[in-house]
Structure 1
Amino acid sequence: MTIRHLHSHAPAHQDAVPAQAAPCCGHDHAAAARKRGGWWPLALAGVLALLAEALHWLGEPSWMQALPAGLAVILGGAGTYKKGWIAIARGNLNINALMSIAVTGAFALGQWPEAAMVMVLFSIAEYIEAASLGRARHAIEHLLKLAPDTVRAQAADGSWHSVPARGVAVGTRLRVAPGERIGLDGRVEAGYSTVDQAPITGESMPVEKREGDLVYAGTVNGMGELEYVALAAFDHTTLARIVDAVSKAQGAKAHTQRFMDRFARVYTPAVCLLALAVAVLPPVFLGGGWQDWIYRALVLLVIACPCALVISTPIAIVSGLTAAARHGVLVKGGVYLEQGRKLAWVALDKTGTLTRGEPRLTDAVELQAGGRAPSLRIAAGLARRSGHPVAQAIGRAWEHEAPEVQAVQATPGGGIEGRIAGRLYLLGSPSWVGARAGVAPSGEAAARLDALQAQGKSVSVLADEGAVLAAFAVADTVRDSSRQAVAELHRLGVRTAMLTGDNAATAAGIAREVGIDAVHAGLLPQDKLDAIVRYGAEGVTGMVGDGINDAPALARADIGFAMAAMGTDTAMETADVALMDDDLRKLPRFIALSRATHAVLVQNIVLALGIKAVFLALTVAGLGTMWMAVFADVGASLLVIGNSLRLLRK
């Protein structure tokens, strides 16, 4: 993707914030509650609800139970109650409407502790889900901090000055010292270095930069000074485009209606119509007494009071969220736990997600027999005198003391040479060693080097003045848990795709090793987002990542999963689920728990409706009484609570 294409889109501004989808039922209330006083009103409501329960079991008078229960309802869910009746008035029979009917029914029956506990549990579930609101704004703030506020720019007279990055014009010559962040997108004009551009492209190893190469704002310069010409203004850099993409992806994310919202839209009007029919039709068409059939209709409404149905969702969701947290999976809302069972595709970043995210020595191949010392020991002595990431990986692989190296000379982009015990050795790329020492591997040795390079590994060779002695391959290695995690996803019927900014050869090698279904390499953040949109057309899609370059895709996916231990703050705050110890095996566990939670929700509804159906039939037959209504309601509630708590053992 060219710079011209990257900057053909509308600019992203520093004060841009993600567009928020319309809040789910209760989200705005929970957010407002936090602003008024944080979590303590809900905690106090929980204590009061438990007090009401204790007074009930101790046999205290009803008015004593009503006082703490009423306060619990006011503190924990007055806003939900108010919105519920507004929803009923407007004909919008959502979960808030169902909740309001449940609490009112419990009040009418004198079940004060039950009314309080239903409201508190519902509000706890809403609070947990609402806790993720505003995180996208924090993710944007972290992204913007990547680019430095000032850069060193060359003035007309050739002098260099520190100037605000926001005011630099396209075409200005800039300079970045070793270890500093690059301020603007540009093209290298002078110097050589390696640049860690994982925040933008996700590449597992620093990339060599020399004259003519592109550099990106927010990436980290390595060992050498670079001079480059700015190709984009501050608000038009690739980093700014990531900020803009995260913002738009948050706004475009599909709003998922919760299971009980969908159920309430059918159940509530159906019950009301049935009660009306019981009250009116028999007296009109069968000649029954109005008083008798109106009483039956009221009993029917009490029996149909949806306390058990309403409580089934929060207690099951809270139990599921708690079970997930026990296994190191933090879910930012019940809606994501409900949706996880539907995942059809899971897209995974490569670097830091499927792999460890750091270069390691994977192969050390002796190409000459009869060496006087282990080749790795000699290579480590040279490598430890170099700042190149590949050399450093070779140096770390030798765990013992390295030999003394004298007359060290480094060639940027080539390799390093020096004398050990008076003998000249060279360590670097095969082409550089061949040009410098006039030696090159041949025959079987050359074939082994070609095989290593075909796997996408960075290959260095060690040579003396007479021959190539050994070859060393460095690559980002696969996590121990990745293969098992992908296999378990496949067993669950979930297909997998790799989205990476790394080169195609490296990506293909990792995909084969892990068992990924589809591979997309050489992607910039916008490309990853586009891939998520395409996969989203085939079903519910998840994205797993750890870096800033993954943030737009994490925001746009139906469920974003962040690798929390080594991941960036931006990835953590943009994602919907955090895998706390970077163990990908937790992902299939999350999906299995989501399916179990949904099964419990369905079981709860079947239990509640089954019990109510029996007593409804008795009521219509004239055998139902108010005490039966109370028994049906309380009994069903206890059953769904016990059933939901089974999730804690998952």
Structure 2
Amino acid sequence: MAISRYFIAAMDCPTEEQLIRNRLKTVTGIEALQFDLIERILTVTHTDDAKSTAESALAELGMHAKPLTAENEGTLQVAPALPRAKLIRLVAAGVLAASAEGLAWALEGSGQAHADNALPVVVLAVGSLLLSGAETARKAWMALRTRTLNINFLMGLAIVGAVVIRQWPEAAMASVLFTVAEVIEGLSLERARKAVQGLMEAAPETVEVLSDCGSFHESKLALVRVGDRVRVRPGQSIPLDGTVTEGLSAVNQAAITGESLPMEKKPGDAIFAGTRNTTGTFIFEVTAARGDTTMDRIVAAVKEAQQERAPTQRFIDKFAQVYTPTVVMLALLYAVLPPLFLGAGWAEQLHRALVMLVIACPCALVISTPVTIVSGLTAAARLGLLVRGGAYLEEGRNLRTIAFDKTGTLTKGQPAVTDILPLTDRAPAELLHLAASLDAASEHPVAEAIVTHCAQTHDCQHLPVEAFEAVVGRGVAGTLGGRRHYVGNHRLTEENQVCGPHVEALLARLEGEGKTTVVLTDAQQALAVIGVADTVRSTAIEAVAQLKALGVAVVMLTGDSHAAAAEIARQAGITDVRAELLPEDKLSAVTALAQQGGGVGMVGDGINDGPALARAQVGFAMGRTGTGVALEIADVALLREDLRLIPAFIRLSRMVSQTLTQNITVALGLKLVFFILALLGKATLPMAVFADVGGSLLVTLNGLRVLRMGKLPPSSISGG
């Protein structure tokens, strides 16, 4: 099988998608079709001999397909929805149609019979039809050829029918209003398209790359490879993902992580393509080449996700497939039966049936879901949530329980000093300074936590250490100021015979809180007990509180000890704690929670969270610190370490659901009202078109309203 990709400028809404599907499904050798309506790209999976046939079929539809290659991809531009020439033609057609209507009314008011057929009225109406109806006629013909009952076919039928019964002003006005509707729909979808494209700023065509001889030279972005070193100056966009190796700066990461303020970057820090350098010049080592960056994956995921039909969208698609033919048949019967059996006039009854046909068009109904889903996915990406499909975006509203892993999820995943308890009259800062000086040469995580804490709390210039010794499995020793000192565990303290009941009591208390303990001693006595533990993320407490406010229960599932889990749960505000769990135990816990009723979400970052993430209705992975396995399995990735994104996702999901309900109600409600008016003979063809235009516009604008949620702080998203 071969895969061909095409850029089709005319493919901008579900109507064209259905037209292409109906035509290409008759071509032998075509296995699959994928539509990217945002970028107007069609991907065809086919046998070698089917390619030319498929291209010919697209040409017959007026869908001029340009093959995408590595050279031209990204250079093909979508034409504006309303170019100047089309605007002029539309305005002229509108003036002529309005003049035809006005003149017909005036002649009718003066007593002239058949004013709609007066020569001046007909001339004005025909002029309007020629200016506005050519595109509609072409699309209607294509729909007829492919036996596709879409809005173009129904409108073409309605306009031709109006001409046949000599309702010239109505035919002209219907044609103009329908063209206006298409323009409005195109402008609205163009806004959605720009919102997705706006996720990534334009990357520079060339970058400064460090050569083997040690100087920088300009290189095309496509030629830069993983491991190359690139220089970025103030004000420039960062072209690729990487790690800072030299220099200091502040980077605006709003496009990736949603953080409103620039983040300070230093050697060792990660940076992302699509973000902007604001202050200093720095050099970074490329970790992801073009096409594989975090931003590339975000944009690709949003595009792929919008191709996957969400549950509501799948329902609407199936509903429309039954609804449209049914209504067309009813309109036909309505046009024929009353004149045959009830003595109604043929012209009047045909006019009413044509009005019913236009009212029946499911355009607003069909477009209501994809615009809303794509807007929701884009808003989520702006917030810092990478959602893998519309199905998960909809599923979020059903979550009633969120299960959190502890280490690396609720906590930072790095040990930090929590307690410095002196055993003498010496100040805690002085004792911390002694311990940090001894631990500076150690690579143990607890030692690193002590050194880091000393550096963060005061000017910690390490004291000179002589005769340093790493005591395997116990701690470190060294001579400070001529006296031997030790930083080690309980066992080392006992071996040095400086442990006593007062030390034991403090050790028992801290270890009961789930903390790791070390003791600072000299050769004669214990000087201090230091507690080290993983600390709760700053956003965890607020996230848990927000989830509870939304009516969502919170559970902790962890493999850590009961004592450590209980302490973190207490700080975070979680009362349901399940500790010392193996991966299969976490899976069983999520399964049991799901059986209690309501959807279950799982938030994790490690390989051991994989089974539970896969079992949950929605799995959330910590995007920046999570393992590759967790990110691969999860349905939603948090692109920044802010747990408030979890309740924000649920609020966004609920808002999307509310918007979908509103759109479906508006679309069907308008049709019902005008259907009744048509049955009573109170609705005209322009009124029917206007109702269809209004419905499509309302649901599109309402769906686009979801985009604004991506610009708000996570805690301020409504929809709970």
TM-score (norm 2): 0.59
| Distance in 1 separating the partners of 2:600 and 2:428 | 56
Change (3 A) 1:113 1:632: closer
Report how far residue 490 of structure 1 moved. 0.8
What secondary structure, in the 3-state scheme, does the structure 1 residue paired with 2:34 have?
helix
Structure 2 gap ranges (5+) = 1-17, 22-31, 45-66, 94-127, 160-174, 197-307, 710-720
Corresponding position of 2:311: 258
Instruction: State the shift of 1:112 in Å.
Output: 5.3
Structure 1 counterpart of 2:34, one-letter code:
H
Give the match's secondary structure for 2:593.
Answer: helix
Could you say which residue in structure 2 is the equivalent of 1:544? 603
- The answer as to whether partners of 2:192 and 2:375 remain within 8 angstroms in 1 is no
Q: 1:357 aligns with which of 413, 419, 440?
A: 413
Sort the Cα spacing of 1:116 and 1:346 in 2 relative to 1 into closer, same or farther, 3 A: farther
Residue 302 (str. 1) matches residue 355 (str. 2): no
Match of 2:698 in 1: 639
Q: How does 1:435-584 map to 2 (within 5 A)?
A: 435=495, 437-443=496-502, 445-537=503-595, 538-584=597-643
Q: Does 1:29 align with 2:31?
A: no
Taking the aligned partners of 2:592 and 2:189, their CA distance within structure 1 comes to 36
Secondary structure at 1:30's aligned position in 2? strand
C-alpha distance in structure 2 between counterparts of 1:616 and 1:599, whole Å: 25
> What letter matches 2:370 in structure 1?
P
Which residue number corresponds to residue 667 of structure 2?
Answer: 608
Matched, 1:623 2:682: yes
Corresponding position: 1:377 with 2:433: yes
Instruction: Find the aligned partners of 1:491 and 1:542 in 2 and give their Cα distance.
Output: 16
Task: Answer whether contact 1:456 1:505 (CA < 8 A) is retained.
Answer: yes
User: What letter matches 2:688 in structure 1?
Assistant: A
Which of 466, 471, 493 lines up with 1:433 in the alignment?
493
Mapped contact 1:103–1:118 kept (Cα < 8 A)? no
Q: For residues 310-349 of structure 1, give each alpha carbon's deviation from its aligned partner in whole angstroms, at most 9, with x where no partner exists.
A: 2221222233233333322333322222221111122222
Q: Identify which range, 371-380 or 55-64, moves more after superposition.
A: 55-64
Q: Check whether the contact 2:621–2:637 (CA below 8 A) recurs between aligned residues.
A: yes
Residue 398 of structure 1 pairs with residue 407 of structure 2 = no
Counterpart of 1:252 in structure 2 is: none
Which protein is bigger by CA-based radius of gyration?
A: 2
Q: Distance in 1 between matches of 2:408 and 2:675?
A: 57
Distance 1:396 1:480 in 2: 18
Which range is displaced more, 341-350 or 541-550? 541-550
Amino acid at match of 1:287: L
After superposition, give the CA deviation of every residue in 1:17-74 in whole Å (9 maximum; x if it has no partner): xxxxxxxx99952389357749999996953644497466444676777888999999
CA distance in 2, matches of 1:34, 1:272: 29
Partners of 1:364 and 1:471 within 8 A in 2: yes
Structure 1 residue aligned with 2:473: 413
Taking only the aligned residue pairs, the percentage that are identical comes to 40
Aligned-partner Cα distance in 1 for 2:77–2:670: 30
Q: Is the contact made by 1:299 and 1:624 (CA closer than 8 Å) also made in structure 2?
A: yes
One of 380, 403, 416 as aligned partner of 1:347: 403
Equivalent runs, 1:8-87 vs 2, <5 Å: 29-30=34-35, 33-34=42-43, 37=68, 46-47=78-79, 49-51=81-83, 54=87, 57-59=90-92
The alpha-carbon deviation at position 570 of structure 1 amounts to: 4.0
CA contact (8 A) 2:140 2:154 kept: no
Alpha-carbon distance in structure 2 between the residues aligned to 1:128 and 1:568: 30
The answer to whether the 8 A contact 2:406-2:558 is kept is yes
Deviation larger for 632-641 or 284-293: 284-293
Alpha-carbon distance between aligned partners in 2 of 1:66 and 1:355, rounded to the nearest angstrom: 63
- Counterpart position of 2:64: none
Tell me the residue number matched to 2:648.
589
- 1:173-322 aligned at under 5 Å gives the runs 258-266=311-319, 269=322, 272-273=325-326, 276-277=329-330, 279-280=332-333, 283=338, 287-289=342-344, 291=346, 293=349, 295-322=351-378
Deviation at 1:274, TM superposition (A): 5.3
- Aligned in 2, Cα 1:63/1:387: closer, same or farther, shift over 3 Å? farther
Which letter maps to 1:269? V
- Cα root mean square deviation, aligned: 4.2
- Higher RCO structure (Cα 8 Å, ≥6 apart): 1
1:388 equivalent among 444, 448, 458: 444
Counterparts of 2:132 and 2:440, CA distance in 1: 74
Q: How many pairs were matched up?
A: 482
User: Letter of the aligned partner of 2:524 in structure 1?
Assistant: G
Deviation at residue 481 of structure 1 after TM alignment? 0.5
Q: Could you say what secondary structure the match of 2:704 adopts?
A: helix
Residue 369 of structure 1, CA deviation: 2.0
Farther off after superposition, 272-281 or 395-404: 272-281
Alignment of 1:158-169 (within 5 A): none
CA distance in 2, matches of 1:411, 1:106: 86
Of 561-570 and 285-294, the range deviating more from structure 2: 285-294
1:642 Cα shift? 2.7
CA distance in 1, matches of 2:381, 2:417: 35
CA distance in structure 2 between the partners assigned to 1:395 and 1:70 by the alignment:
77
Q: CA shift at 1:572, angstroms? A: 3.4
Distance 1:372 1:559, change over 3 A: closer
CA contact (8 A) 1:49 1:113 kept: no
- Rounded to whole Å, the distance in 1 between the matches of 2:690 and 2:432 is 78
Aligned counterparts of 1:357 and 1:346: Cα–Cα separation in 2: 20
Structure 1 296/373 Cα, relative in aligned 2: closer, same or farther at 3 Å?
closer
**Paired amino acid for 1:259:** T
Is this contact kept in 2: 1:339–1:594, CA < 8 A?
A: yes
Taking a change above 3 Å as real, the CA distance of residues 589 and 71 of structure 1, as seen in their structure-2 partners, is: farther
TM-score, reference length from structure 1: 0.64
Residue type of the partner of 1:261? R
Letter in 1 for 2:446: V
| Counterparts in 2 of 1:343 and 1:456: CA distance versus 1, 3 Å | same
Q: Structure 1: how far apart are the matches of 2:191 and 2:402?
A: 30
Structure 1 portions without partners, runs of 5+: 1-24, 89-99, 130-254
Amino acid at match of 1:623: K
| Aligned partner (choices 375, 387, 390) of residue 331 of structure 1 | 387
- For 2:469, give the aligned amino acid: Q
The 8 Å contact of residues 666 and 695 in structure 2, kept in 1 or not, is answered as yes
> Which stretch has the larger CA shift, 620-629 or 58-67?
58-67
How far apart, CA to CA, are the structure 2 residues paired with 1:277 and 1:296? 12
